[in-house]
Structure 1
Amino acid sequence: MRKLLTTVAVAAALAGCAAPPNLLRSTDLRLPLDDYLLSPAELRELSAARELLVRRCLAAAGFAYPSRADSAPKGPRTWNERRYGVTDADLVAVDGYGLGDREPTGDKPAPKLDAAARAALEGPRGCAAKAGEEQRRGGPELDRDLPRRLASESFARSRGAPEVTDVVRKWSDCMRAGGFAYDDPLAPPADPRWAGPGKPAAAEIATATADLECKRRTNLVGVWFTAETAVQRGLVDGNRAALESIRRAADAELALSRRLLTP
């Protein structure tokens, strides 16, 4: 773990240099705005605590609210795991553009409630609203979506940076040389040929393997990560006070949620 953290820290430091670091696997890379975004794991904690508060509120009103069955976490481990497309050689070799056991299968179905229980749950003074208020414990009104919006902005801006458009073109040329016609590294995962359940076909694994190799040859991840890091540093500098207030409020909610979830 210490070696991994050191590698990520060095990569982040090098991102400010003129020459981008050679990078491929993006799962553990951290962009500046990641300090202010709730991670997928943190969001799961908040969701579990809110469900617990809702269940308690409904029980006090005389209604049962069945707990939804727990399941293994789905989706990317971090926001950067698939930010620039596939980058995990071991996963690609088996699951192509899929996530294996972490492949999302849709939201867990909400418990079925009768009309009286729904009335107690919903509305401005319902248990759902009360659970949100209790979780925030009178925290300040904040634009909590700001970190996510800035992260979306940084992605779009970095995507248009000359060095990124250049490396994407090189990646595309590399793919075409291997017989795979794609103009953008986010296009292959969205190819409709890969849609549907079940193990990936050989064609998907071959495409994903070539995709990964072309990223390696062109250093697409290193170039794009460097460009986006620079954009995000500027966005953080311009919004630091708001971002820090949002993170403090999120940390307070997480602390409360963890206390609620501790047996």
Structure 2
Amino acid sequence: MRLIVGLGNPGAKYERNRHNIGFMAVDEIHRCHSSFSPWRARFQGQVSEGRLGSEKVLLLKPSTFMNDSGRAVGEAIRFYKIEPEDIVVIYDELDLPPAKFRMKTGGGHGGHNGLRSITAHIGADYRRLRLGIGHPGDKKLVSNYVLGDFAKADSDWMEPLLREIADNADLLAEGKDSQFANKLTLALEPEKAKRSGAKPAGGDKGGKTAATKPTKSPGGKGQSHIRQARHAKTPNLPKSGPMADMLKKLLGQSDKS
């Protein structure tokens, strides 16, 4: 059994809070994968069982409020005898800009009370998926900021991020964190992926991907009229005979030119 935990606070009051992006991510996984059962109350939280890829997975949203998240996580792992490497905790990260993410295993809690509680109950060796929400700029503003709702404009980056997490959740369940991170980077930050040399999935049998740069034809669309005129081919004119003499007179040319 693998455990994927989303952190947040229960209740409609907190539903759209920045602090609840962990809940949102787990909800999106649940929504996108039909194998999961309806949510039910268990382990001091809301749980759903299903499969991601070849793995049996328990989704968990603690109902203990953020600061006591470890109680719910601790009950679940003791019941199923789940090892730390089989646990992924998804949560909000102030020190990452919005739309950014990072995967890591172990480490400190960084001042996040949900992680502080989980580490106190099960140790620090679990895996973490950190989702950036940005920082308000002043430590005194942090509490109101994380408990404030996302703006409507945040949907432009948040919805694609949550969708990609759900679409690639099977890699999380299988412990393939590097592949998971690569997939998200390719989808959400293609320019960064290109600079780092990451290769998109698919491509031909030789491992090469199809060219995406459109082919430009001289004088084609996308060029100014001046550039089109520069690229236009000069018509073939007769160089001798009556027609050539007539054209020279019309164009004011002489035999010296």
TM-score, with structure 1 as normaliser:
0.25
Higher helix proportion: 1
Higher strand proportion: 2
Task: Report which structure shows greater RCO (CA 8 Å, sep ≥6).
Answer: 1
